């Protein structure tokens, strides 16, 4: 899918495929340096993190295992409370592991804040976070994030794994949607 497939649904491109690729190269180099000689367990948070995980993992030279979690808030009314439900748990035992959570976006920070304390309680050697995008102005809770691709304005974005009603995840860039899309 590209911009032409979106007709007039695309408002503007925030980050091009090339910009994302360049930043992923830099993030991977930093992660390789930080985890030199160590084995890393990448934990992807479904579904949005699939693209970041695939593109980041392929750039890493350090020893990597991959695992996945699916989480859901208990409904929009309680999302702000940070109450999260596990839909699919990890297969891996975290004892003694160096865990790197891979996310597409940190918006309010509530999902990651919950996930961080959940994974920390499982006895890992370390837990860090890598996210492609972060909206600093939307933060309801501060999360200590080791690797951030881009800080973006507090606008709803799609593409590179991010959806609106499950659509647009397969856009290779990150963009905003025209207002008429939301009124459908
Ligand atoms: O910082 P927060 O405000 O908690 O938002 C960030 C979370 O929201 C998105 O997931 P979403 O619940 O949309 O699920 P998805 O990945 O399946 O699209 C994103 O992938 C993060 O997990
Ligand atoms: O801006 C966003 N776009 C899509 N999904 C999201 N989940 C949290 N923030 C966003």
Buried b (16+ CB within 10 A) or exposed e, 106-121: bbbbbbbbbbbeebee
Question: Pick from 184, 169, 183, 166: which is nearest to 1 by CA?
Answer: 169
Residue 131 three-state SS: strand
Q: How many helices (H) does the chain have, and how many strands (E)? A: 5, 9
- Which atom belonging to ligand 1 lies closest to the Cα atom of 111? 4
Q: Which domains does the chain have, with CATH numbers?
A: 17-152 (3.40.50.2020)
What residue's CA is closest to ligand 1, atom 20? 48
Q: What ligand 2 atom has the least distance to the C-alpha of 164?
A: 4
CA-nearest residue, atom 9 of ligand 2: 107
What is the tens place of the pLDDT at every residue in 15-46?
A: 999 999 999 999 999 999 999 999 999 999 99
Two tokens, residue 76: 């929009």
Q: Is 108 in the pocket of ligand 1 (CB under 6 A)?
A: yes
The tens digit of pLDDT for each residue in 113-156 reads 999 999 999 999 999 999 999 999 988 999 999 999 999 999 99
Q: What is the ipTM of this complex?
A: 0.96
**Atom 16 in ligand 1: which residue has the minimum CA distance?**
48
**81-107 tens-digit pLDDT:** 667 899 999 999 999 999 999 999 999
The pLDDT score that the predictor gives to residue 7 is 82
- Please tell me the predicted confidence (pLDDT) of residue 182: 86
- The reported pTM is 0.95
Q: Quick check: 160 and 177 in contact, CB under 8 A?
A: no
pLDDT tens-digit readout, 151-176:
999 999 999 999 999 999 999 999 99
Pocket of ligand 2 (CB under 6 A): 105, 107, 156-158, 162-163
Q: For 45-78, how does the pLDDT look when each residue is reduced to its tens digit (9 = 90+)?
A: 999 999 999 999 999 999 999 999 999 865 554 4
Q: Where are the alpha helices (DSSP H) in the chain?
A: 17-34, 50-57, 76-79, 110-120, 179-182
Q: Which residues are catalytic?
A: 107
**pLDDT of the residue at 83:** 78
- In this prediction, residue 78 carries a pLDDT of 40
Pocket flag, ligand 1, residue 152 (CB < 6 Å): no
What number is the average pLDDT over the span 171-182?
93
* Contact (CB, 8 A) for 16 and 160: no
């Amino acid at each position: 899918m590209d911009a032409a497939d979106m007709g007039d649904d695309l408002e503007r491109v925030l980050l091009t495929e090339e910009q994302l690729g360049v930043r992923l190269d830099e993030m991977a180099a930093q992660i390789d340096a930080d985890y030199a000689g160590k084995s890393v367990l990448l934990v992807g948070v479904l579904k949005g993190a699939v693209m970041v995980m695939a593109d980041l993992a392929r750039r890493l030279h350090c020893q990597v295992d991959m695992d996945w979690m699916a989480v859901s808030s208990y409904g929009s009314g309680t999302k702000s409370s940070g109450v999260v439900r596990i839909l699919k748990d990890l297969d891996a035992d975290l004892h003694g592991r160096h865990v790197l959570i891979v996310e597409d976006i940190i918006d309010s920070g509530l999902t990651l804040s919950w996930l961080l304390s959940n994974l920390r309680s499982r006895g890992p050697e370390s837990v860090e976070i890598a996210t492609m995008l972060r909206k600093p102005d939307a933060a309801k809770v501060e999360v200590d994030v080791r690797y951030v691709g881009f800080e973006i304005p507090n606008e709803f974005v799609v593409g590179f794994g991010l959806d609106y009603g499950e659509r647009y995840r397969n856009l290779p860039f990150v963009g905003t949607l025209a207002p008429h899309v939301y009124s459908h």
